[in-house]
Amino acid sequence: MNVELLSHTPDPEKIIAAAAKLCYSSSGIDGILQGLDEEKTTNFLNRLMSMGHESPIEHISFTFGVEGVSRSLLAQLTRHRIASYSVKSQRYVKEGQFEFITPPEIAALPEAKAEFERAMAEDVASYNRLADMLYEKHVADMIADGMEEKKAKNAAEKKAIEDARYVLPNACETKLILTMNARSLMNFFHHRCCERAQWEIRDMATRMLALVKGVAPTLFATAGPSCAAGPCPEGAMSCGKAAEKRAYFRNMAGGSCNQD
């Protein structure tokens, strides 16, 4: 998995402080950024977070590039609806020899890993056979309908792979770019940094949190699973490690944490 912070709102914490300042003072727009040094910005942010006043943090956003993740992760990620996603298309990009994500529990068991890799190889072969069969049929049909051969071949490939993709597994690797505002990110971290989240999206969320902490350390100082800033909300389903998790996320250093 590789997660990179591609872009973010410039001076993100200062922008939030300016929005908060406008809410609580008579300052005009022309002077809203004046006097917001590092100390005052930090004070504004700490006050906001202690009050639970989260609307000003919607004014900043972060854009990430992610690769080496599965379509299974994608299905979970897009449940977070206040966000923008651009994903490698399986309609336009042929997955002739697709990469796949192997769950750690499968990778750790030799016989399970062998079975998993056999299944992936069968999926590759089935996908390619289906794509070839459909391609030949569509080319013939299009030429018979009067389409020029070169144009027919180009159109036939797209039409073939958009149906052949139905055989592809959840393990199929994908790439994406996603953008979230800071409030949505906070919610995302609450749910996806939690031990109850699925391992792959938890790994991605934790990497994303480390990256944004490097840019806005005050804002994200207590970000992470819900237990990082308060009691665990999971009740009987709690992992029982709230104190350990709280310490981990409070002490997390900002910056890249990409791993193999």
Tokens at 15, concatenated: 């922008």
Judged on CB neighbours under 10 Å (0-12, 13-18, 19+), 158 is middle
On whether the CB atoms of residues 208 and 158 are closer than 8 A, the answer is no
Whole-angstrom distance, CA of residue 62 vs CA of residue 254: 15
Q: What's the number of CA atoms in the CB half-sphere (13 Å) around residue 93?
A: 13
**Active-site amino acid positions:** 192
Question: Token pair 């749910």 is at which residue?
Answer: 191
Give the count of beta carbons closer than 10 Å to the beta carbon of residue 73.
23
How distant is the alpha carbon of residue 138 from its chain centre?
36
On whether the CB atoms of residues 181 and 58 are closer than 8 A, the answer is yes
Whole-angstrom distance, CA of residue 147 vs CA of residue 143: 5
Whole-angstrom distance, CA of residue 48 vs CA of residue 20: 8
